[in-house]
Structure 1
Amino acid sequence: MKRKLLFSTLALLCFGGNALAGGPSADGNYHALYQAAPGAGGQIAQVGCTDDVGCGCETPCDCDAGVCEPDCGADMIEYCDSGCDGGCDAGCGCGGGLGLFDKLGQCDLGEPFALFGQCGNLSAGGWVQMGYHTDALPLFNSRPDEFQLHQAWLWAEKAIDTSCGFDIGGRIDYIYGTDSQDTQAFGIANNHWDNDWDNGPDYGHAMPQLYLEAGYGDLSVKVGHFYTIIGWEVVTAPDNFFYSHAYTMYNSEPFTHTGALATLAVSEDVEVYGGYTLGWDSGFEDNGDSFLGGVSLALNEDISLIYATVAGRFADKGGNTEKGYMHSIVADVALTDQLQYIFQSDFLDTEDQNNRLARNTFGINQYLIYTLTDCLAAGARFEWYNVEGSVLNQTAGNESDIYALTMGVNYKPHANVIVRPEIRFDWDDDQIAGLDEGEEQTTFGIDTIFLF
């Protein structure tokens, strides 16, 4: 497995030295375009049409003449917001030069609706996610041919403000739906915290975050139950581009931790993380002793790197101990003003209480996301997932490879609504993933998220 660890590092270094650049700043969040729940944990760089990318200045439209004529004396923001009524095809507004949205209509998100809203540093909100998929994927989407409620989510937060010195805040999250049982504190077998808040075999409740946060200057510390910093995909639906999830995220990464995590902003371009947690996916009972930490680097305005790791004792479940090391490396690159590339490599190596192999997995996920307008983006994800002795492949010494290609669209007809159709292809020669169709499977899925 050392070769996989070496390959992960070399691949990232080679990519980082050869990536194209020239897009907007990578320190934002892609789903800020969707006004998703603040602090939900996404690590997606903002792409698309913003005030600082020269939108509309290159080729504003002379719609009376039926052509687009360059005129940088025009108001950039006016063209960016309103587009052209006459249907010019080249470079109108935010349409990326495809002429598509002159035919489909202008992108008008309207005013976002907030059920609770914000008052100073206090805010609350939520969303409802409902979806349908044709085949079972043992990665959250495990109920095929059923229209289901995945997430009915409520959150409340007091954000800290350290501009004037010391401040205290915190956050609480609650979820009901078919995704809840996958985000409960299932790391211990005694049904502590929210692990027995079930409603039948598939639906249930969970409280995946409940923490206090204190900060002073550039330093902040979370104490309580909170989401992991590992990986790029997250549990919260509005912070993911795709409806379905990666094998790596579901099988090789923790979802939640209980403990303390400090964040220090060393500079505008560097943040470091470090803390102690009670293992993986545990509530407020001792389930392990592990270090959680990492570093986030903004190499320039177009490229950011995140390294996050967990090391130590991950779980004591049913008398079985799991201990070891895992890391996730994420490179987030704005290739152009509208095209975003994400490279993620995960490595996990653990042993049981008898120092025998428990899990050894290695995965590479690559994402391409192209933002046409604030209303529409298209994306693709390709994953290679290698397993030995994991929850999927229990035979030590036997390695298996799973591949998955997902292509989808994010369409936003309103500031509070996201529709995510996708088609997914899975290849599993050893049939260890639990696909409905055995070795190969094609799955169509679509979900809708209503934010409030």
Structure 2
Amino acid sequence: MSKYRCVFMSCVAASFLGSSVGVWAQGAEEEAWGDGALARSMFGDDFEQSSGVRIKGVAQIGWSHNDASDAGWSPNDGHTNYPVVGANDEGFQLNGIQLTAEKSLKSNILPRITPLPGPKPEEFSWGFTAELIYGRNGLMAGMYGFDQQWAINRPGNDDSVKAATSHQNYLAAPQAYLQFYMPVLDGLAVTVGRFGSGVGYEIPPATRPSPNFFYTHTYALVSQPDQVAGVLVSTNVFRNNYGLLAAELGVVNGRQNWQDNNAQKSALGALRWRSPDMRTWVDYSFMSGDEQNDLDHDIQMPVSRILSDTGLRRDHHSLLVRHHFDERWMLAVEGLSGKQRGNADHSIDLITGQPFSGAHYRGANATLRYKSSKLVEYGVRVERFEDPDGFALLPTTTVAGSYNAVTVGANLNLHPHLVVRPEIRYDWQSDNDGVRAYGAGRAEHQTTFSIDALIYF
């Protein structure tokens, strides 16, 4: 079957599945989201109002299958959907059970998200967020020098092969930070602690709302910085008839790094523009800093795969444009590029064992979403990610070349406590010189059938 026919059939199947279940879903009574229901039942309905603290949870379980594993390895081996991420394993999996405690800022700017319209609050405000997750997703959420070293995460933090074959679950604390709002300039906020970088379009947590419409994620997410530890300053630049513009700048330890593996910090920043009606968003975000392992520090694989006695900077840039045409249609388009400096005389690639002279990558992805009702929404995503040096997609693959993907799916909001997301995804390689990345290195393309459930409590 040609790849084009396979994509077409995938689209038809996902659309049919979404429509069939959606008929029942549209009859459900619309209610408020179920986030925080467990805490309200334990502490009372007035706990959140009196304390300002909200406690909420989400459990994510899924099932997945691809047509490439049979040619290469057993689905029981774990991570058999790689280099596709999100639904890492075939069969049933506990992606995660996540608990969050948060106190929101009273602010006209949401750090790492958006400036807000309306009057500037004139009072100081503070808030916090603390998260804990257990499941397969905890592997990617672990941070070096912190939860990655916890005893409960052994042997996976030392033996990745054994952890994959045993489908080991991990415990991590993805975010733990304080935030402060100050009524200076046109509104300024400071974030301190461990937090998501805010670089790029997709974000790892299965929160609601979020840009993560699909169960599986883009290759872009693998390449972009996830969590960081440090300080971020966010401020409004202007809010007028030309729109809203916020600027952000921070200093952090590095990617997934609580205890720095070299002597230099990294810079993190963004410019976020919104149209006056908030229907069009334009975000430029970046992270830049040395990411090599110094000779006298612990090796932090796979985030830092270069060993060197000199500083080697890694840059990542993302430009995102998102537009809501009306209440039903939304389009988001992201372009990204990255570069890791190298020095063949003073650095070694710990994967290949060869001198490292540098690497670069770039990609583009677009997501079109259509909301057919208050309870059913459809989506199509296309992506091309070029990794000619086989550098950017570690740990999912080190095969050089270009990765292409088409994903179709639906969000079925069956109940305030339940969202079901079926999807069908087709991936194929190009510019790979015959080296195969799917099915344990035996296939150049892969069709993945996945469905997950997000249970909010």
2:83 maps to 1:138: yes
Q: Equivalences for 1:297-336 in 2 at 5 Å? A: 297-301=273-277, 302-316=279-293, 318=299, 319-320=307-308, 322-336=312-326
Deviations 1:243-282 (A, max 9, x none): 00111111x1011001100110223311110010111111
Q: CA contact under 8 A between 2:62 and 2:87: conserved in structure 1? A: no
Deviation by residue 1:9-67 (Cα, 9 ceiling, x = unmatched): xxxxxxxxxxxxxxxxxxxxxxxxxxxxxxxxxxxxxxxxxxxxxxxxxxxxxxxxxxx
- Asked whether the equivalents of residues 109 and 412 of structure 1 are also in contact (C-alpha less than 8 Å), the reply is no
Structure 1 residue runs without a partner (length 5+): 1-97, 187-191
Q: C-alpha separation between the residues in 1 aligned to 2:406 and 2:276? A: 30
Q: Which amino acid aligns with 1:195?
A: Q
Alignment check: 8 A CA contact 2:200 2:221 kept: yes
CA distance in 1, matches of 2:191, 2:169: 29
In 2, Cα distance between equivalents of 1:400 and 1:414: 42
* Distance of 2:412 and 2:369 partners within structure 1: 13
1:208 to 2:174 alignment: yes
1:339-354 alignment runs, 5 A limit: 339-352=329-342, 354=346
Unaligned runs of 5+ in 2: 1-18, 41-47, 67-80, 108-120, 157-162, 300-306, 348-355
**Matching residue of 1:127:** 58
Letter in 2 for 1:231: G
> Which range moves more in the overlay, 108-117 or 371-380?
108-117
- Distance of 1:286 and 1:164 partners within structure 2: 41
How far did 1:143 drift? 4.7
What residue in structure 2 maps to residue 384 of structure 1?
384
Number of the residue aligned with 1:257: 228
Q: Which residue of 1 aligns with 2:449?
A: 444
Aligned to 2:266: 290
In 2, Cα distance between the equivalents of 1:433 and 1:109? 44
Cα distance 1:160–1:284, how it changes in 2: closer, same or farther (>3 A)? farther
Aligned length: 345
Residue pair 1:358, 1:390 contacting (<8 A) in 2 also: no
Q: How many Å apart are 1:312 and its aligned residue?
A: 1.9
TM superposition shift of 1:131: 0.3
Q: Aligned residue for 2:303?
A: none
The whole-number CA distance in structure 2 between the counterparts of 1:425 and 1:375 is: 26
2:22–2:412 contact (8 Å) kept in structure 1: no
> What is the CA–CA distance in structure 1 between the aligned matches of 2:30 and 2:364, rounded to whole Å?
35
Aligned counterpart in structure 2 of residue 277 of structure 1, from 248, 252, 263: 252
Q: Aligned residue for 1:246? A: 218
Q: Could you say what the CA RMSD is over the residues aligned between the two structures, in angstroms?
A: 2.6
**Whole-Å Cα distance in 2 between the matches of residues 138 and 247 of structure 1?**
8
Q: CA deviation at 1:103?
A: 8.6
Equivalent of 2:39 in 116, 120, 128: 116
Query: Alpha-carbon deviation of 1:284?
Result: 4.4
- Separation (CA, whole Å) in 1 of partners of 2:422 and 2:26: 20
| 1:221-236 correspondence to structure 2 within 5 Å | 221-236=190-205
SS of equivalent to 1:449 = strand
- 8 Å contact kept, 1:422–1:444: yes
For the Cα contact (< 8 Å) 1:357–1:389, is it kept in 2?
A: no
1:47-58 equivalences in 2 (<5 Å): none
Q: Percent identity?
A: 24
Q: CA deviation at 1:304?
A: 1.1
The alignment's TM-score, normalised by the length of structure 2, stands at 0.70
Asked if 1 retains the 8 angstrom alpha-carbon contact of 2:28 and 2:415, the reply is no
For 1:302-330, what per-residue CA distance to the aligned partner results, in whole angstroms no more than 9, with x for missing partners? 31100001112134363446413211110
**Could you state the TM-score of these two structures normalised by the residue count of structure 1?**
0.71
Call closer, same or farther: CA 1:281–1:358 in 2, change over 3 Å: farther
Structure 1 letter corresponding to 2:249: G
Secondary structure of the equivalent of 1:407? strand
Match of 1:185 among 120, 138, 143: 143
Q: 1:360, CA displacement in angstroms?
A: 0.8
Q: How does 1:46-195 map to 2 (within 5 A)?
A: 105-113=26-34, 114-117=37-40, 118-119=48-49, 120-135=51-66, 136-141=81-86, 143-161=88-106, 163-186=121-144, 192-195=145-148
Q: CA deviation at 1:159?
A: 1.7
Structure-2 separation of matches of 1:102 and 1:153? 30
Residues 133-189 of structure 1: CA distance to partner in whole angstroms, max 9, x if unpaired?
A: 103133434654321110100111122225342222211111100011111114xxx
| C-alpha spacing 1:440/1:173, structure 2 compared with 1 (3 Å) | same
Cα distance in 2 between the residues matched to 1:419 and 1:166: 40
Whole-angstrom CA distance in 1 between matches of 2:88 and 2:268: 33
| Contact 1:343/1:364 (8 A) holds in 2 | yes
Tell me the distance in 1 between the aligned counterparts of 2:25 and 2:204. 32
- 1:253 and 1:414, CA in 2 relative to 1: closer, same or farther beyond 3 A? same
Q: CA deviation at 1:401?
A: 1.2
Q: Once superposed, which parts of structure 1, at least 4 consecutive aligned residues long, lie more than 6 Å away?
A: 100-104
**CA offsets per residue over residues 203-243 of structure 1, 9 Å max, x none?**
11111111111111210101111001111111112321000
SS where residue 139 of structure 2 aligns? helix
- Do the aligned partners of residues 300 and 168 (structure 1) sit closer, same or farther apart at CA in structure 2, a change above 3 Å counting? closer
- Partner amino acid for 2:452? D
- Residue 413 of structure 1, CA deviation: 0.7
